Amino acid sequence: MVKNDDRRRLPPEIVYEVLEHCLFVSPEALFSAPALFWGYRDCDLGTRPVLRRSVHLLRVCRQWHALALPLLYAALWISSTADAEAIAHALRSRPPLCRAVRALRVGAVEDGFGDGLQYIVAHAPHLRAVRLQLDTSDWAALNSLDALARALPCLRPTVLWVSRNIAVSGRHACRVAAIFNTCLAEDYTHLEHLHLGSNFNLTEETAHAIRQCPRLNSVSIRLTDLQYQWPPSLLNTIDSPRLQTIRCRVPVANLATLDIDNVRKDLVSRGVDSAVVEKLTFIPR
């Protein structure tokens, strides 16, 4: 146990490293956690706990509070209107916390985000890793779509995970899809990795937008989407000299028995350029 006198003598750098080990959540862990379960679990990148409610970990002395608090805002998950409003209120109340935000996951919200989402993304200068649920289903709330439409141009991600329902219907849903494509092609100039979620509705327009990303060097897709949902020729559309790797996600149980050579040959026979096929790597999901 650390005594009060010893605690005051500990260098802030050491205190920060200890607290970071307890509180830090990596973007990979934040983005890959199941949407229906957000509690203690082992991270893929280490033994740090992934937490949604980390407040109890702030039971530290008052002198350490200033060091610990920003770590709670480094990785944020918005899954309700209340989340967006509470986080935006905290950032307004403590503007220095805006600089602590590094990763953001935005889920599908039926009752909208209010003004909170746009405030968060517009005032977080170090936000570089983002996961978005571009929900374009019929039940998606109009104010949710409007909030996404306003927030998308404010983002400047280097890593972007995005999922979208197969069905795109309605004028407002199509507007969100169009804004997203414009951002990919024109605004996301620092984007390096794009992760397309399962059942992502990859259209010709989105594929062309992906091709225009000036720094994009890797794309992650689900193999079954490539095989059964998309026209394989769309791989030719997204390819560019800058794109180095196309990561195909395969269930762990299937990866050991997957005939990779046969998959490559099948894609070539269906019109995918051999140079593009060579960029494919197969990874477990």
The CB-side HSE value for 85 (13 A sphere, CA atoms) comes to: 8
SS3 132: strand
Q: How far apart are CA 81 and CA 163, in angstroms?
A: 19
Please give the pLDDT value at position 262. Answer: 94
pLDDT over 70 (residue 51): no
Stated pTM of the model = 0.84
pLDDT over 90 (residue 19): no
More confident: 268 or 53: 268
Please give the pLDDT value at position 218. Answer: 97
pLDDT tens string 159-209: 999 987 545 556 667 788 889 999 999 999 999 999 999 888 888 999 999
pLDDT over 70 (residue 82): yes
More confident: 217 or 65: 217
pLDDT over 80 (residue 36): no
Range(s) of the domain holding residue 51: 4-284
Q: How far apart are CA 90 and CA 86, in angstroms?
A: 6
Please give the pLDDT value at position 49. Answer: 40
Cβ pair 184, 209 in contact under 8 A: yes
Q: How far apart are CA 191 and CA 239, in angstroms?
A: 15
Cβ pair 191, 160 in contact under 8 A: yes
Q: Which two tokens stand for residue 148?
A: 């996404």
The total of structural domains in the chain comes to: 1
Please give the pLDDT value at position 37. Answer: 41
| H-run or E-run covering 34 | none
Q: How far apart are CA 48 and CA 17, in angstroms?
A: 13
Task: Report the sign of the C-alpha dihedral through residues 173, 179, 182, 184, in that order.
Answer: negative
The CB-side HSE value for 179 (13 A sphere, CA atoms) comes to: 19
Residue 2 CA: distances (Å) to CA of 11, 21, 65, 107, 247: 13, 18, 16, 40, 47
Please give the pLDDT value at position 233. Answer: 85
Torsion of CA 256, 257, 260, 266, to 10 degrees: -150
pLDDT over 50 (residue 38): no
pLDDT tens string 104-127: 999 877 667 778 999 999 999 999
